[in-house]
Amino acid sequence: MLLSGGCLGKSDIEALQRDQENTSRELSTLQRNLYSLNTDLRGQLEDLKKRTADLRKEVTGLNTEVKSKVGFLEKEMETSSQPMRRHQADLGARVDKLQMDVQALMGRFEEGKYFAEKNFQETKTLRESHQAKIEELDKRLADLKKSLEAGEKKPETAEKEKAGEKETAPQKPPAETPQKPEEGQASPGKTPEKAVKTAALTPDDAYKKAYDLYNKGSIPQARDEFKRFLEAFPKSKYAENAHYWLGECYFSEKKYDEAILEFDEVIKRFPKGNKVPDALYRQGMAFLEMKDTMNAKLIFKEVVKRYPKSDQAARARKKLQELP
């Protein structure tokens, strides 16, 4: 009895030792896992620090750029008072937009960590969808250009035929045959000085002419004038606004594909411009008019994300609440 009791006690001790060894191995495994998790967390924290530093640099650079633009605008207003009076309202709006962009970027900096952790996957999906849509729009733009080129050949042929007829007709003396005035010019026989001035419009006057036509509701004429302006002055300081208002002309004519492409020109060519929030929002409205609810919602979400404190973001939120 005593001997058997002693054996049982020894086996129990051995079993306890084995359990202790198993527990030690599990503890070691847990320690290794904890070390790996700590390493991953440190890497993620380093990434967040780098992103925060990048955002700070971006905000600093944008503040410098905004100050430079505001200083340029103020200097331009002082040195050229007469042209600036004609465009005072437009310049004031541009300054306001720049200030709104700065505020939006500051808000974006403050919320950077939150969006980095919570909306990473959603942002990735949105970018992929938006990129696919841009590629599709680029294809549509190529098709539209081909169709426009094909449509322009016919009027060119007609003009050549008319030119041939004019060459065969007897010519008048040079003093009685001034050059044909452009559209919107006065008759050369009545006011030749005005005709000469209209033929050589400055960028300011050409843009004002197109913008005034749009404000008067002459949409087709405004569309043609904005096109002429962009062909004549593609690098003008008003090129961004001209692309935007050309998109609005197409939108008013219910040519939503062309409107989307024109607004996309604003977003791609002037990513830091004051018309980008409006262009992005109007793209969403164009998709909505085309009954493309999915892409409209993606665009409205992008407006809210990129410009959370803007008027366009407030309108986009309202649209998102109304959509199913």
Backbone angles phi, psi at 321, to 5 degrees: -70, -30
Specify if 184 maps to a domain: no
Predicted pLDDT at 254: 96
Cα dihedral sign for 204, 206, 210, 216?
Answer: positive
Residues 265 and 239 in one domain: yes
- Predicted model pTM: 0.42
Domain count, the chain: 2
CA pair distance 97, 276, nearest whole angstrom:
10
Backbone dihedral angles phi then psi of residue 79, each to the nearest 5 degrees: -85, -25
d(C-alpha 106, C-alpha 196), whole Å: 50
User: Does residue 167 lie within any of the structural domains?
Assistant: no
| Distances, alpha carbon 94 to alpha carbons 98, 185, 191, in Å | 6, 31, 37
Clarify whether residues 223 and 308 are in a common domain: yes
The Cα–Cα gap between 294 and 283 comes to 13
Residue 204: count other Cβ atoms within 10 Å of its Cβ.
Answer: 17
Q: Give the residue among 214, 180, 213 at the shortest CA–CA distance from 198.
A: 180
Residue 124 belongs to some domain of the structure = yes
Please report the pLDDT score of residue 240 as a whole number: 96
Q: Are residues 234 and 311 in the same domain?
A: yes
CA distances 184 to 124, 144, 268, Å, are: 50, 28, 33
Domain range for residue 42? 31-116
Same domain for 277 and 247? yes
193 in any annotated domain: no
Sign of the CA dihedral with 259 first, then 265, 266, and 268 last: positive
Same domain? 40 vs 67: yes
Residues 144 and 276 in one domain: yes
Which residues are CB-neighbours of 266 under 8 A, at least 6 positions away? 240, 243, 244, 247, 273, 275, 276, 279
> Could you tell me if 102 and 141 lie in one domain?
no
Based on the fold, state whether residues 107 and 215 are members of the same structural domain: no
Give the residue ranges of DSSP H helices in the chain: 2-79, 81-86, 88-110, 112-118, 120-168, 192-199, 203-215, 219-232, 239-252, 256-269, 276-289, 293-306, 311-322
Output the six-digit token pair for 21: 């060894």
Using only the alpha carbons of the chain, give its radius of gyration: 33
State whether 228 and 304 are in the same domain: yes
pLDDT of residue 108: 67
Same domain for 278 and 253:
yes
Q: Classify residue 95: in a domain, yes or no.
A: yes
Q: Do 109 and 128 share a domain, yes or no?
A: no
Would residue 5 count as lying in a domain?
Answer: no
**18 located within any domain:** no
pLDDT one digit per residue (tens) for the chain, 324 residues: 445 555 557 888 888 888 888 988 888 898 888 888 888 888 888 888 888 888 888 878 888 887 888 788 778 777 766 665 666 666 766 766 666 665 555 556 655 555 555 555 665 566 666 667 667 776 666 666 565 556 555 455 445 444 444 433 333 333 323 333 333 333 333 333 333 343 468 999 999 999 999 999 999 999 999 999 999 999 999 999 999 999 999 999 999 999 999 999 999 999 999 999 999 999 999 999 999 999 999 999 999 999 999 999 999 999 999 998
Burial degree of 91 (CB within 10 A; 0-12, 13-18, 19+): middle
Query: Which region, left, alpha or beta, applies to residue 184 given φ > 0 means left and ψ of -120 to 50 means alpha?
Result: left
> Is the residue at 305 inside a domain?
yes
Q: Is 52 exposed, middle or buried (0-12, 13-18, 19+ CB in 10 A)?
A: middle
CATH of the domain at 308: 1.25.40.10
pLDDT in tens, 193-210: 333 343 468 999 999 999
Task: Report the pLDDT value the prediction gives residue 60, as an integer from 0 to 100.
Answer: 86
Please tell me the number of Cα atoms within 13 Å of 130 on its side-chain side.
20
Q: Are 72 and 128 members of one domain?
A: no
